[in-house]
Chains A and B, each alone.
Chain A
Amino acid sequence: MAADTAAALPIPKVRDRQSVARWMHLWLLLLLIVMSLLSLGYGAADASLFRAFTALMTGDAISQTEQIILLDIRLPRLLLGITVGAALAVSGVLMQGLFRNPLADPGIVGVSAGASLGAVTAIVLGPLLPAALLALMGGALIALFAFAGAWIAMLILYRVSTRQGRTSVATMLLAGIALAALTGAVSGLLIYIADDQQLRDFTFWSLGSLGGTSWAKVWIAAPIVLAAILLATRLAHGLNCLALGEAAALHLGIRTERLKSGAVLLTAAATGLAVAVSGGIGFIGIVVPHLLRLATGPDHRPLLINAALLGAALLVGADIISRTLVAPAELPIGIVTAVLGAPVFLWILLRRRGLVDL
């Protein structure tokens, strides 16, 4: 009887959400491809992708400068942009799922504060390192310090909020605020002793840029971030269950401790790398998951993949703007993402207010 009634019902809207989510993979992939082609084809220099292709087809040589612009500047920058955008958006999804709060971002687990402290340490105290060491690390000094800072902060936070093998998400949230204040104080101290130039360096770092891209950074960051995203998709079902609360997730058969530590470690790896290679880029981690939840619902299985694709596409788009708006100079990309992201974020908040509790 009950089954008959169920069969007579119109097709539930939920099915639509799932198929929309699956179609969304395709649309977002197309968007990313379009953005990538734009990014390769468009820039301050008029080296065009089209000409390079024609040259490749007809066997003509393209000039060495054009080759460098396409292969050593735009291509690695595109790949790093994809990596960073995907890493930030996926980290956002993980953190929002873990903290069950749509406003959470990777900053919550101390990653941003730690990376920032690492960067300012490298900028201000870096020159005091032995010259041989400096020469060895070269331009990667700030990135290395930022990454180390991100991990140290995350590990401290995790240690503080874990007792008897159980991690308290609430403690982590509060300890994160305390840790951010502490790293802020230490950063402040370093900023105090910094000279004028170091101050400007740090300001530019914290605004974010893909300007310092090199193939080395791509080779280091891209595989790790890709692996982190693939591993993150395995947490999707667990995060769905976690939306019902930790106890309910456990009752549904989720190893919640493993889920929590997995989400935190993957976020630290992905965001830590993203921040290390590109500085502070905001809003991608909050706006991207939010937009996608509006479109396809909160199911984390399609959400994680969609977030990676949309995050990558948006960051590549933002980078195109950052590279071309004030060419031949360039605008820090953090400014672009904030200008694009903040109004979208506000719009989402106003639109959702009162309807559904976020």
Chain B
Amino acid sequence: MFEAHDISVTIGRKTILSGVSCKAAPGQITAIIGPNGSGKTTLLRALSGDIPHTGHITLDGLDIGTADPALLAGLRAVLPQATPLAFPFTVQEVVSLGAMAGLSAQDPTLVERALADVDLIGYGPRFYQELSGGEQQRVQLARILAQVWQPQVDGAPRWLLLDEPVSSLDLAHQILVMRLAERFAQAGGGVIVILHDLNLTGMFADRVLMMSNGTLAHSGPPDSVLTDANIGAAYCCKVQSRQAPKEGRFFLLPHFI
């Protein structure tokens, strides 16, 4: 269980998060949604232990603030929004950095299997910087998958913290990545994911945290959070869900791919 209690984050004089308390359970995908600047990424960074904050965050009883980074690295992996790479590492080298940080490092096929999972078979020897944005994002996903390869170890869950993992992906790969997350949760791991796409949220999330102005506006199962009223208030935009547009206008939902 990932538990945050009364989290506030202040950077400079600006309060970015105030008094957020939330929970995420293993075996579920917990989606964080909300408009730009609502504090989604800051919440995820607080959960990852990156930024100073007030309040307490525990991961299965372990205090994030004081835990040994190496111990945490075995328990959870974090996918940032964008990862610049300083030197010309190859894809294989990048993914093996994740493998080495986790508990499955001794498995020699791990890197190739993680790359296969994100549809990048044979990309190992290529230079990371030569790949497209979407391919780079999937390499990073393979890296963190390799870090927490087994969703459960001795009954204890592993966690994926994903910050917009599908932002630069095409439709097919969006679904691929969300299915990976789903598989991970079904195998007993925990997934906390920031999503911009409310359709994907509705499709995959077991639980939704809706952020607004640095606070947690709503939380619960998708059906109870993703209401027209909640979305309209948080995003300042009138919406109508569960209905096709008028006059046969084009729309697409990837539910049946």
Kindly state whether residue A343 has any CB partner on chain B within 8 Å: no
Kindly state whether residue A156 has any CB partner on chain B within 8 Å: no
Chain B residues closer than 8 Å to A358, beta-carbon distance:
88
Kindly state whether residue B60 has any CB partner on chain A within 8 Å: no
Contact yes or no, A357 B129, CB < 8 A: yes
Contact yes or no, B90 A297, CB < 8 A: yes
Query: Looking across the interface, which residue of chain A has its beta carbon closest to that of B89?
Result: A298
Kindly state whether residue A17 has any CB partner on chain B within 8 Å: yes
In-complex Cβ contact of B116 among A6, A241, A251 (8 A): A6
Query: Looking across the interface, which residue of chain A has its beta carbon closest to that of B73?
Result: A253
Kindly state whether residue A250 has any CB partner on chain B within 8 Å: yes
In the complex with contacts A12-B125, A237-B100, A247-B78 CB distance below 8 A: yes
Kindly state whether residue B94 has any CB partner on chain A within 8 Å: yes
Contact yes or no, A245 B84, CB < 8 A: yes
Kindly state whether residue A159 has any CB partner on chain B within 8 Å: no
Kindly state whether residue B204 has any CB partner on chain A within 8 Å: no
Contact yes or no, A12 B113, CB < 8 A: no
Contact yes or no, B85 A250, CB < 8 A: no
In the complex with contacts A243-B89, A250-B49, A9-B78 CB distance below 8 A: no
Kindly state whether residue A100 has any CB partner on chain B within 8 Å: yes
A-facing residues in B88-133 (Cβ within 8 Å): 88-90, 92-94, 97-98, 100-101, 109, 112-113, 115-117, 121-122, 124-125, 127, 129-130
A102–B52 CA distance with the chains assembled, in angstroms: 30
A237–B73 CA distance with the chains assembled, in angstroms: 14
Chain B residues closer than 8 Å to A250, beta-carbon distance:
48-50, 69
A5–B73 CA distance with the chains assembled, in angstroms: 29
Chain B residues closer than 8 Å to A298, beta-carbon distance:
86-89, 93
B-facing residues in A1-45 (Cβ within 8 Å): 2-3, 5-7, 9, 12-14, 17
Contact yes or no, A356 B129, CB < 8 A: yes
Kindly state whether residue A248 has any CB partner on chain B within 8 Å: yes
Closest beta carbon of chain A to B171's beta carbon, Å: 22
In-complex Cβ contact of A101 among B50, B70, B86 (8 A): B86
Contact yes or no, B86 A253, CB < 8 A: no
Contact yes or no, B97 A252, CB < 8 A: yes
Contact yes or no, A245 B93, CB < 8 A: no
Query: Looking across the interface, which residue of chain A has its beta carbon closest to that of B76?
Result: A251
A244–B79 CA distance with the chains assembled, in angstroms: 11
Query: Looking across the interface, which residue of chain B has its beta carbon closest to that of A100?
Result: B86
A14–B9 CA distance with the chains assembled, in angstroms: 42
In-complex Cβ contact of B80 among A12, A100, A237, A245 (8 A): A245
A-facing residues in B61-76 (Cβ within 8 Å): 69-74, 76
Closest beta carbon of chain A to B139's beta carbon, Å: 11
Contact yes or no, A244 B97, CB < 8 A: yes
Contact yes or no, A244 B94, CB < 8 A: yes
In the complex with contacts A2-B116, A3-B113, A5-B116, A14-B87 CB distance below 8 A: no
Query: Looking across the interface, which residue of chain A has its beta carbon closest to that of B123?
Result: A12
In-complex Cβ contact of A297 among B70, B89, B101 (8 A): B89
A293–B77 CA distance with the chains assembled, in angstroms: 28
In-complex Cβ contact of B101 among A5, A101, A253 (8 A): A253
A178–B144 CA distance with the chains assembled, in angstroms: 39
Kindly state whether residue A299 has any CB partner on chain B within 8 Å: yes
Query: Looking across the interface, which residue of chain A has its beta carbon closest to that of B122?
Result: A9
Kindly state whether residue B83 has any CB partner on chain A within 8 Å: yes
Kindly state whether residue B45 has any CB partner on chain A within 8 Å: yes
Closest beta carbon of chain A to B121's beta carbon, Å: 5
Closest beta carbon of chain A to B86's beta carbon, Å: 3
Residue from the set A164, A237, A245, A256 with the largest chain B CB neighbour count within 10 Å: A245
- 7 more A-B residue pairs beyond the given contacts A12-B124, A253-B70, with a C-beta to C-beta distance below 8 A: A2-B117, A97-B86, A101-B86, A243-B87, A251-B101, A255-B69, A255-B70
* Interchain Cβ contacts under 8 Å between A and B, 28 examples: A2-B112, A2-B116, A3-B109, A3-B112, A6-B112, A6-B115, A9-B112, A12-B124, A14-B93, A101-B86, A102-B86, A164-B52, A243-B87, A244-B85, A247-B45, A248-B83, A250-B48, A251-B72, A252-B98, A252-B101, A253-B69, A253-B70, A253-B71, A253-B72, A293-B87, A356-B127, A357-B88, A358-B88
